[in-house]
Amino acid sequence: MEQVNQGVRENVYPQAAQALYRTLSQAAISAVTPIAAVLVALAFGATLLWLNGFDGTDVVTVMIFGSFQDTRSVAEILLKATPLILIGAGLCVAFRCSIWNIGAEGQLYVGAIAATFVGTSIDGLSVWVHAPLVMLAGALAGAAWAGIAGYLKVRFQASEIVTTIMLNYIAIILTSYLVTGPMKDASAAYPQSARLVREAWTPRIVSDMRLHIGILVAVVLAVALYIFLQRSSRGFALRVVGLNPHAARYAGMDVRRNVMIAICISGALAGLAGAFEVAGVTHRLYQNISPGYGFEGIAVALLANNNPLAAIISGGLFATLRSGSEVLQITSQVPQVLVLVIQGMVILSVVAFAKFRDKFRFVA
């Protein structure tokens, strides 16, 4: 009976329909697994909260939906999503090239430093010039900072995992030094830089909300990087280098050059994220300009399965969880540690599901 059915099905659907069915089912699998992963993690989180004497489902609901109260809170989520999407999408490029850039945090900091420098030391430019100049400075600084690790890798085979982590420390300490020393605002008691001139600020989308055009830039860049990776010749070479460097060399691709390009792209986006934090949010450089966006960006890329387009969604998700946990801390007794544990569970669960997906592909 079943066989008869199968035969009929094959005859009814022509090849084109089968191809469409295949594409759709593949898309469904790749979209469903991260969502399922997040749901499973949140279910575990709820259980964990319940074991600790909290109303688990209630807390998780607050975590996801609590921050969607009004436009303003949605705008705050998008504000947090901006650096996460930028860094996540940039890291997708590096990871696809098999470069384990753990240094987005440091690249963000040097981007912020460069942006602050350009935003405080120049005056009298129009906003049309000055604001983009600040972004450019951030991106270039981030790319250069990542480029150091890239150079050490291609020249001396130094592991980028080690060098980028070291460069993180240097960047963060350098920032502390600058805001307590050379770049310190003389009139302020706290370690902070002078305020950026108004023309250097990233324009806001609506004047009475902090959300700035950085979110649009982030989304556009993520889409552009997706096209770059999937459709451009250079993106193809990056992927081949990442998948099989021997074959890349055989084919005449310059492995070192591609490694440099990939790591610099990821650094540029992290640097740009740093520029937006300064020019769009704080307008000054502080010691702790980033609450760990550079590290969370790694999870964003991971959840997106190194697909920059999906990094828009996963960046948004992590921003939501982050906002939700802030709401939680204000409105409930749940300790922040538990919230962090839940975030960690999301990441773990995503990794586990990715494994499952690969297995599924092999068997099916």
Using the rule CB under 8 A, is 155 a contact of another protein? no
Q: Is 182 in the site for another protein (CB under 8 A)?
A: no
Looking at beta carbons only, is 22 or 72 nearer to another protein? Answer: 22
Q: Which is nearer to another protein, 207 or 233 (CB)?
A: 233
Q: Is 67 helix (H, G, I), strand (E, B) or coil?
A: coil
- From the list 221, 220, 234, the residue with the least C-alpha distance to 96 is 234
Pick 72 or 249: Cβ nearer another protein: 249
Give the binding range for another protein (CB under 8 A) out of 80-88, 131-139, 188-196, 247-255.
247-255
Could you say whether residue 12 binds another protein (CB under 8 A)?
A: no
CA-derived radius of gyration, the chain:
23
Q: Is residue 223 within the footprint of another protein (CB under 8 A)?
A: no
247 contributes a contact to another protein by CB under 8 A: yes
Find the farthest-apart pair of alpha carbons in the chain and give their distance in angstroms, rounded: 85
261 lies in the site for another protein, by CB under 8 A: no
Verify binding: residue 253, another protein, rule CB under 8 A: yes
Pick between residue 198 and residue 249 the one whose CB is nearest to another protein. Answer: 249
Closest CA to 77 of 87, 86, 88, 66: 66
Shortest distance, position 251 Cβ to another protein, whole Å: 4
Tell me: does residue 249 bind another protein (CB under 8 A).
yes
Q: CA of 329: how far to CAs of 71, 84, 113, 333, 341, in Å?
A: 21, 21, 31, 7, 14
Based on the shown chain and the rule CB under 8 A, indicate whether residue 251 belongs to the binding site for another protein.
yes
Closest-CA residue to 321 (of 343, 341, 303): 343
Backbone phi, psi, residue 283, to 5° = 65, 5
- Which is closer to another protein, CB of 18 or CB of 329? 18
Gap between the Cα atoms of 351 and 29, Å rounded: 15
> DSSP states of 166-204 as a string?
HHHHHHHHHHHHHHHTTTB-TT-SSSBBPPPPGGGSPPB
181 vs 252 by CB, closer to another protein = 252
Cβ 228 to another protein, closest distance in Å? 9
- Among the residue ranges 44-52, 234-242, 303-311, 336-344, the one whose residues contact another protein (CB under 8 A): 234-242
Q: Does 18 bind another protein (CB under 8 A)?
A: yes
Among 250, 331, 340, 351, binds another protein (CB under 8 A): 250
Report how far Cα 169 is from the mean position of its chain's Cα atoms: 20
Query: CA geometry: angle at 211 spanning 207 and 217, to 5°?
Result: 115
- Contact set with another protein (CB under 8 A): 18-19, 22, 231-234, 236-237, 239-240, 243-244, 246-247, 249-254, 363-364
